[in-house]
Chains A and B, each alone.
Chain A
Amino acid sequence: MLANSINQLITDLPTQIGSDVTAFLSELVLCGTVVALLLGRLLGIDRKMPGHWIAMAGTLIAFGIAFGNVYANGPDAYQVGEDAQLFSGLLVNDGLTVFFRLFLLVFLVLVIALTVLSGIPDNEDGPDFYTLLIGATIGMMLMASANHLLMLFLAVEMASVPSYVMVGFLKGKRLSSEAALKYVVYGAGAAGVMLYGTSLVAGMLGTGQLHLVAEKLRDLLTSEVGVGTDMSTAAVRTIVLGVMMILVGLAFKLSLVPFHFWCPDAFEGAPAEVGGFLSVASKAAAFALLIRVVHQLTGFGDLAVPLAIGLGVIAVVSSTFGNLAAYFQTNVKRMLAYSTIAHAGYMLTGVVAMLVALEDGNQMLATDCVEGVLFYLSVYLFMNLGAFAIVALIRNRTYSEEIADYRGLKNECPWLCVMMAVCLFSLVGLPPLGGFVAKFFVLAPVWEAASIHWSMGVLVGFALLNTVFSLFYYLKVPVAMFIVDRPEDARPARTGSTEAVFVLLLTAPILLLGMSPLISKLSLAAERVAHDTITVPDGARTSTSPEK
């Protein structure tokens, strides 16, 4: 099989490589930026030209390429079905890939801008930090475009390893090193489990191609020589185990309960900038991968719905636990860490409903579910990064990330406080902020899926109850900022206008995505991507097996 792949690669190389590389250009530019950063360090250029300029320039070029492609070609910027495969099927360049490529590049630009403002890697450490940051982003972009179980594992690891280092980036701090160590140990464990899972699945199905998993599964379970969907068969048990192990790896990246233990510690120890980066980028990439993997689980037939309900339970437990645990936190970063656990739970309900809808053959509904998740992630980017950015900027003045030290800040830096309130209330999901629209777009299709399986209604119920719970702890920050007076001996925390403008830039999309016609623009784009993601593999299937 390996020989075949190599042969195919060699024969296809001259014709294929050109278009493959074009589609992969943004990632290559980022790779080039990493090389430039390291070379700059080697030649001492970083003394004259700080690392963040090189990083920013490279990211902007990569973003320009990705955006220009989408801008010029519209829906033709990506391919569908077999045409979308790159590098002999290891990667795909479909709608989801393009969506997350843009998403991650926008995010990377914002994070680099934030680090420049907050100055967390100093000039000395700059090139190292940006190498890690960009390296992790490349890994995440690969996660979003992985089309092979091997790539799935490699991409997750490529995203994880730089993340471990970034969490421990504050070298002198004990808390930071401890956080990094916890993250590494958990990450290594999860990676091992996931690797085992991928080998089980690949071994049972005889393919590593992600888009073939559903078909092979169906063949294995239902064809004449099939083993049926009876859990008592060893083959079924093995494959279910394999799939679950892969899901464990992804759940670790998503910090879903019970694979979340690293998350609060890592976020508390890491600089807020890194926390913001991990909470958004790594989650988004993991969701892209999760959508691809869960989409293939339809091959399980009757077993798919129980699996979906299992995931639904994880979603409910994650959001409930995240919200309850967040209530007792006194450190803002730790509180936000628990909040990201809860939000992963909300978004997971959308993926669960997608599986249920697909199993029922309702592709329209499945499209809506994916659309909701994509929209949620887009809003989540701004509200979560906004919150972390404000934490970082305030930390630069007060040297504290405790809620108690936020008391009465409204007089010191009113804009940051107002924007923090916007971010947090958007995280609660209150209109007219983007968080509400996002939550609505995720939960509405889940509610509709309740007509297929009643448990989906329960998911919505829990998500809504959690919204009420979450108000309690999110409010603690605005209460401290606006209602309580500043203690006499508190450190002054006046911030400059550049910071305010940057934060305003981050929060403006939250307002726009809550009120303006931009909502429909984004949701239409998300719908198109979701539509192509959901329906294309099915179309491909009809070409191979006409009776289906």
Chain B
Amino acid sequence: MFQEHLPTLIIFAPTIGAVLLMLMPKDNEEGLRYTALTVTIVTFILTLALLPGFDMSEAGMQYTYSAEWIPNWNINYQLGIDGISLPLILLTSFISLWAMVASWSITKQIKGYLILFLLLETGMLGVFMATDFFLFYVFWEVMLLPMYFLIGIWGGPRKEYAAIKFFLYTLFGSVLMLVALLMIYFNSHHPESNEHIFDLLLLTDAAQGNEGLLNPVMQQWAFWLLFIGFAIKIPSVPFHTWLPDAHVEAPTPISMILAGVLLKMGGYGILRIAFPLCPVAVFDGSTVLVAIGVISIIYGAFAAMAQTDFKRLVAYSSVSHMGYVVLGIGVVGVVSADTASDYWKMGINGAMFQMLGHGVSSAGMFFMVGVVYDRVHHRNLNEFGGLAGKMPLYTGLSAGIFFAGLGLPGMCGFIGEVFVVLSAWQFSKILAIVAASGVILTAGYILWTLQRVYLGAEYKGPHEEALTPMLARERIVAGVLLVFAIILGVFPNLMFQYMIPSIQKLTDGMAGQMAGL
């Protein structure tokens, strides 16, 4: 009973918390904060409660739950968790928890902020658990409104512009996704009743059966519509321009969520929907996919190097790092009708791990930027320097987290990048070389940043007197994120053990349709 309803409970625990907050008086700020924090902690514990009952050897959906929602359209409230979604669910509740701790820096209209924050968490968790396409779409969109207001109300000077840009890009992507959803729905048939369906599991079976779900031409359309929708979220070049603006203007905790979780939804959507439903189009389009991935890596890295705004730099580093995700999933290879090549599996594993690693490290980097911004109220890289002398602990923790982002061996960023680059070598040596050179560029801009911000003789910018040591709360957030960056780097199997069977099932299932080509 508890097991069956656990996913529902996880999704709606933050909503229940939001309703509780609504009923509380708005003057009691500390009470509101601690209530919201408790809710995120409870949600995190609930997601951890998924682990004992999760069968690692099982590739398919677990914790499945299905109830009719709109039966005359065959729309179900249908949830399920497999090895691809489980790590991302953990990441979501984990990052939400620490972003909530980081939210102590928010002082304006705290009640509204916390309510929207919790609603956002519901949307994110729902996306990772929905196994009905319609439900997935609803959760996907549910995140938009809270995110819009979180950036728009609590953001920086150009918050309105950044918020609407984020909103428009995502809505445009969603509309494309909706067209693909309609295409898929009207071409689907329930195996027994022959009615149209939204059930992703049945759709996947149909797409990988002999008949296929869509004919090859429609697959091309559906795939690219879906891909653009998801690529906007990832964000891949050339759909990335909303990200730097959104990040720069968003308050620190929201940046953490944005980089740590929201971007992962793009990669997840591709793996959960675009890939399994359109295998032929994936096979045909793999060259484009890897090209987009590599371009994102290189372009993001160069763009990061050119920034003078600390937060913008981290934002562009996200574009670059998420490029590895697209590259990793795009190195399609097939051995026979029921087996995909090992390097493709390795690529997707690497991409998944890159998402997790980047989730931890980028949230950490944005948090570190926020810590110093809260003190000196500027982010101009050229006016920093000498922080190591004033804030030694902060400098140490930052260096650790930035090295994790850089992909230093033994830390979380390394595993994903290596897996992706190695698998790309099998796919195309030139691409692998270019992608690997991205690592050097990354090292370049991160080391240069460290040098400009932390090293040097003295701090040159304004508000020098405000450079006080980290608060206990800040130390905890930074410390925890750094510890997890190291744990993931040293014991990557902690996460790989969950995802390998599901990824194998995904790729092998798609191989059948591809092998005939």
Which residues from chain A sit less than 8 Å from chain B, CB to CB?
A: 410, 425, 430-432, 436-437, 440-441, 443-444, 447-448, 451, 460-461, 464-465, 467-468, 471-472, 475, 479, 482-483, 517, 519-520, 523-524, 527
B45 interface hit (Cβ, 8 Å): no
Known contacts: A444-B182, A467-B175. The answer to whether A523 contacts B73 by CB under 8 A is: yes
**Subset of 28 A-B contacts with CB under 8 Å:** A430-B171, A432-B142, A436-B138, A444-B73, A447-B183, A447-B186, A460-B182, A461-B179, A464-B175, A464-B178, A464-B179, A465-B175, A467-B171, A468-B168, A471-B171, A472-B164, A472-B168, A482-B149, A483-B160, A483-B163, A517-B68, A517-B69, A520-B69, A520-B70, A523-B70, A523-B72, A523-B73, A524-B72
Which residues from chain B sit less than 8 Å from chain A, CB to CB?
A: 68-73, 112, 137-138, 141-142, 144-145, 149, 152-153, 159-160, 163-164, 167-168, 171-172, 175, 178-179, 182-183, 185-186
Find the A residue at minimum CB distance from B26. Answer: A414
Interface class of chain A by DSSP? helix
Known contacts: A471-B167, A483-B159. The answer to whether A425 contacts B70 by CB under 8 A is: no
The reply to whether B145 and A425 form a contact with Cβ atoms under 8 Å apart is yes
The reply to whether B141 and A430 form a contact with Cβ atoms under 8 Å apart is yes
The reply to whether A483 and B69 form a contact with Cβ atoms under 8 Å apart is no
- The CA of A430 and the CA of B112, in the complex, are separated in Å by 20
Within the complex, which residue of B68, B73, B167, B186 is in contact with A475, where a contact is CB–CB below 8 Å?
Answer: B167
5 further A-B pairs in the complex, CB-CB below 8 A; given A444-B186, A471-B167, A472-B164: A431-B142, A464-B178, A475-B164, A483-B163, A517-B68
- Please provide the 7 A-B residue pairs with the shortest distance between their CB atoms, ordered closest to farther: A431-B138, A431-B141, A447-B182, A520-B70, A464-B175, A483-B152, A519-B70
The reply to whether B171 and A519 form a contact with Cβ atoms under 8 Å apart is no
- The CA of A519 and the CA of B153, in the complex, are separated in Å by 32
- The CA of A301 and the CA of B149, in the complex, are separated in Å by 52
Find the A residue at minimum CB distance from B179. Answer: A464
Find chain A residues with CB under 8 A from B149 CB. Answer: 482
Among the interface residues B69, B138, B163, which one has the most CB atoms of the partner chain A within 10 A?
Answer: B138
Find the B residue at minimum CB distance from A451. Answer: B186
The reply to whether A479 and B160 form a contact with Cβ atoms under 8 Å apart is yes
Find the A residue at minimum CB distance from B175. Answer: A464
B107–chain A nearest beta-carbon distance, Å = 15
The reply to whether B137 and A431 form a contact with Cβ atoms under 8 Å apart is yes
- The CA of A179 and the CA of B381, in the complex, are separated in Å by 59
Find chain B residues with CB under 8 A from A431 CB. Answer: 137-138, 141-142
Find chain A residues with CB under 8 A from B141 CB. Answer: 430-432, 436
The reply to whether B73 and A483 form a contact with Cβ atoms under 8 Å apart is no
Find chain B residues with CB under 8 A from A425 CB. Answer: 145
Find chain B residues with CB under 8 A from A524 CB. Answer: 72
- The CA of A527 and the CA of B72, in the complex, are separated in Å by 9
- The CA of A410 and the CA of B153, in the complex, are separated in Å by 11
Within the complex, which residue of A440, A461, A471, A520 is in contact with B168, where a contact is CB–CB below 8 Å?
Answer: A471
Find chain B residues with CB under 8 A from A441 CB. Answer: 73
Find the B residue at minimum CB distance from A523. Answer: B72
- The CA of A164 and the CA of B152, in the complex, are separated in Å by 42
The reply to whether A444 and B70 form a contact with Cβ atoms under 8 Å apart is no
- The CA of A56 and the CA of B162, in the complex, are separated in Å by 48
Within the complex, which residue of B144, B145, B153 is in contact with A483, where a contact is CB–CB below 8 Å?
Answer: B153
Find chain A residues with CB under 8 A from B69 CB. Answer: 517, 519-520
- The CA of A464 and the CA of B168, in the complex, are separated in Å by 13
Known contacts: A468-B168, A471-B168, A479-B160. The answer to whether A520 contacts B182 by CB under 8 A is: no
Find chain A residues with CB under 8 A from B183 CB. Answer: 447
Find the B residue at minimum CB distance from A447. Answer: B182
- The CA of A467 and the CA of B163, in the complex, are separated in Å by 18
- The CA of A432 and the CA of B72, in the complex, are separated in Å by 19
Find the B residue at minimum CB distance from A483. Answer: B152
Find chain A residues with CB under 8 A from B68 CB. Answer: 517, 520
- The CA of A430 and the CA of B168, in the complex, are separated in Å by 12
Find the B residue at minimum CB distance from A441. Answer: B73
Within the complex, which residue of A448, A467, A527 is in contact with B186, where a contact is CB–CB below 8 Å?
Answer: A448
Within the complex, which residue of A410, A444, A479 is in contact with B185, where a contact is CB–CB below 8 Å?
Answer: A444
The reply to whether B179 and A460 form a contact with Cβ atoms under 8 Å apart is yes
B172–chain A nearest beta-carbon distance, Å = 5
Find the B residue at minimum CB distance from A418. Answer: B112
Find chain B residues with CB under 8 A from A468 CB. Answer: 168, 171-172, 175
Among the interface residues A425, A441, A472, A482, which one has the most CB atoms of the partner chain B within 10 A?
Answer: A482
B431–chain A nearest beta-carbon distance, Å = 34
Find chain A residues with CB under 8 A from B178 CB. Answer: 440, 464
B239–chain A nearest beta-carbon distance, Å = 15
The reply to whether B153 and A430 form a contact with Cβ atoms under 8 Å apart is no
Find chain A residues with CB under 8 A from B73 CB. Answer: 441, 444, 523
- The CA of A520 and the CA of B182, in the complex, are separated in Å by 19
Find chain A residues with CB under 8 A from B137 CB. Answer: 431
Find chain B residues with CB under 8 A from A520 CB. Answer: 68-72
B260–chain A nearest beta-carbon distance, Å = 23
